[in-house]
């Protein structure tokens, strides 16, 4: 039970939790976007652009976690 063990465990666990949160977030986004497109097909293009923009925001947060986990997994 030394620092390397803790670092590897933290890297895996951290990234897994971040991925779980991102999965839920993007799913909610996509569900609402599809709902909107079904209600008003003429606005599909606008909705699609905004959805892709919002997905990029949510993914960025997961990638902050990824960078921290990569530092943990390779430094120690």
Site residues (CB under 8 A) for another protein? 49, 52-53, 56-57, 59-60, 63-64, 66-67, 70, 74
Q: Between 5 and 64, whose beta carbon lies closer to another protein?
A: 64
CB of 8 to another protein, least distance (A): 14
- List the structure tokens of 36: 């909107």
CB of 55 to another protein, least distance (A): 8
Q: Are 38 and 1 in contact (CB under 8 A)?
A: no
Quote the CA–CA distance of 50 and 33 in Å, as a whole number.
Answer: 9
């Amino acid at each position: 039970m030394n620092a390397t063990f803790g670092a590897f465990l933290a890297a895996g666990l951290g990234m897994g939790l971040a991925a779980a949160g991102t999965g839920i977030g993007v799913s909610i986004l996509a569900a609402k976007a599809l709902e909107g497109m079904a209600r008003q097909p003429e606005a599909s293009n606008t909705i699609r652009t905004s959805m892709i923009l919002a997905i990029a925001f949510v993914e960025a947060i997961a990638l902050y976690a990824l960078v921290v986990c990569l530092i943990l997994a390779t430094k120690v």
